[in-house]
Structure 1
Amino acid sequence: MDIKLFVTDLDGTLLPSGAEVPRRNIEAAQRAVRAGVTVTIATGRMYRAALPVARALGVDVPIITYNGAVIKSVSGKVYDENFLPPDVVREVLAFCRARDWHVQLYADDVLYFAEHDVYAVAYEENQALRGETVGWDGLAAHAEHVAKLLVISDGAEQTAERVAALNEAFGGRVQAMRSNPAYTEVVVPGVTKASALRKLASMLSVPLDAVMAIGDSNNDLPMLQAAGHSVAMGNALPEVKAVCEFSVGTCEEGGFAEAIERYVL
């Protein structure tokens, strides 16, 4: 294999939950860069939350954020943006409000909550950032330039129900997907980490058979299937492991660095 572009998921892959990037992962990424490989991130996180991680890796490349909705370089250059229509955003908010679901939105790379509840507090701690609490009417007032909405539940079964309910209710006007056991991501239909990976590879003139992707969750599946080569983390879901060419240790065991050491370098 001659890998020229290495695309990594963030949470549960490059980054242990709520932790800094492990030194071994930083060193592996920098070794790959010195070998001529472009190392970048594809994450469901907002750009502002992904930026410190990209900086920790020491790379200034386009990074894929909001599950593929926005591609933007570390230095701030925008390569691609996909925003939900404002009327659809307001309908999704009303749908969630009627069911008393926690939903938050991201407009112009600012995080907004209706209430600063236990879900909001936990999210802020996990992402190492702060959002703005604006009430339900305030959320609706920030319906422009929304890259995604996030519904937070109490577990995988509830998340699966909410993904199905949103996809059924909005009939292709939004795309809802699970990104971890508690998170339902709502984005523009057709926008995935895979669509962004293809755009990024094209921008960099890298053929897909020279692209390797690594991940652990459902929202990584399209990206892993689009890349020429794919790696599943040891902590990946069974359906992720089933489609990947290679597997490595868990996030806590340094599976990211293992992938670079074994399959890139």
Structure 2
Amino acid sequence: MGIKLVAIDIDDTLLNPEGQLAGETINAIKKTIQKGVKVVLCTGRPLAGVTTFLNQLGISGDDQYVITYNGAIIETVSGHRLAQHTLDFEDYLAADKLSYELNVHYNILDDESRIYTSNRDVGRITVIQAAENDEGLFVRNPEEMPQDLTVSKIMFVDEPEVLDAQIHKIKETFDDRYYVVRSLPEFLEVLNKKANKGNALTDLLSELGLKKEEVMAMGDQHNDLTMFAVAGTTVAMGNAIPELKDVATYVTESNANHGVAVALERYVI
């Protein structure tokens, strides 16, 4: 049974260390698509933070899909939503309160990809995140926010050593109510319990009528583990965390050495 869908993480997997798509990766993905295989980008980013890469890869239309916000939203690349698992105003208030208690920067993304924080001293990582997502950064106090707010995800974003020092307390506070996952050394994400890459990929496979054996997943971080659990072939990047390499079918080259292209050549092209 051949591979009919490839699910690929973006940061530190699809993109090289400079945050760009290498020519080798673009060529391999275009060859994969030409063989009739769907390429689904699975990311913590919103659609706005993915569009540039979709355009470079030639992925478009209502019959191509992306999994965004770490699985909170499944949508076509043209923005038609198939499913979403989001948070609300009370969840936002809980994160805002904890941010100040622990002295960790935070932000939220609404369902239109806008980033909000009440941290007047906006963190360096939040500024970089906003620049990548291209939908704006808004500094607002809770009383300035609408109570019918739809929150795609909450993010504690800070220097790795800051998160390292507080991750236990954040998980202790939120683990029973939310899905909490470290997506990058600088990002600790808090999502709806049903929102993860694995659940989203399972829903998409059901929509498309595909079996686990027809799916390959590629990634590098903790938030890719759930995706690996529902794919028949799993590829960890050479720069991936040890936990992902331990459960992978294959460990490819790093993202600096075109690991995505190497894996696609091996298993699909």
TM-score using structure 2 length: 0.91
| Offset of residue 45 of structure 1 | 0.8
Matched residue of 1:31: which SS? Answer: helix
Which residue pairs with 2:124 in the alignment?
118
**Stretch moving more, 66-75 or 91-100:** 91-100
**Structure-2 separation of matches of 1:104 and 1:37:** 36
Cα distance per residue 1:215-236 (max 9 Å; x no partner):
0011111101221110000000
Which residue pairs with 2:267 in the alignment?
263
Q: 1:117 to 1:139 in 2, by over 3 A?
A: farther
| Offset of residue 24 of structure 1 | 1.3
Q: 1:170 to 1:187 in 2, by over 3 A?
A: same
Matched residue of 1:226: which SS? Answer: coil
Q: 1:262 to 1:110 in 2, by over 3 A?
A: same
Structure 1 portions without partners, runs of 5+? none
Q: 1:50 to 1:143 in 2, by over 3 A?
A: farther
Q: Does 1:149 align with 2:168?
A: no
Cα distance per residue 1:167-189 (max 9 Å; x no partner):
32135212211001111011001
Q: Does 1:56 align with 2:56?
A: yes
**Residue identity (%):** 31
TM-score using structure 1 length: 0.92
Which residue pairs with 1:31 in the alignment?
31
Which residue pairs with 1:103 in the alignment?
106
**Structure-1 separation of matches of 2:192 and 2:144:** 18
**Structure-2 separation of matches of 1:239 and 1:208:** 21
Number of residue pairs matched by the alignment: 263
**Structure-2 separation of matches of 1:165 and 1:233:** 30
Q: 1:138 to 1:20 in 2, by over 3 A?
A: farther
Match of 1:81 among 76, 81, 84: 84
Q: Is the contact made by 2:213 and 2:232 (CA closer than 8 Å) also made in structure 1?
A: yes
Q: Is the contact made by 1:4 and 1:210 (CA closer than 8 Å) also made in structure 2?
A: yes
Match of 1:233 among 231, 237, 247: 237
Which residue pairs with 1:196 in the alignment?
200
Q: Is the contact made by 2:13 and 2:219 (CA closer than 8 Å) also made in structure 1?
A: yes
* RMSD value, Cα: 1.9
Q: State how 1:107-186 maps to structure 2 within 5 Å.
A: 107-108=110-111, 109-114=113-118, 115=120, 116-125=122-131, 127=132, 129=134, 131-137=136-142, 140-141=145-146, 144-155=149-160, 158-186=162-190
Q: Is the contact made by 1:89 and 1:140 (CA closer than 8 Å) also made in structure 2?
A: no
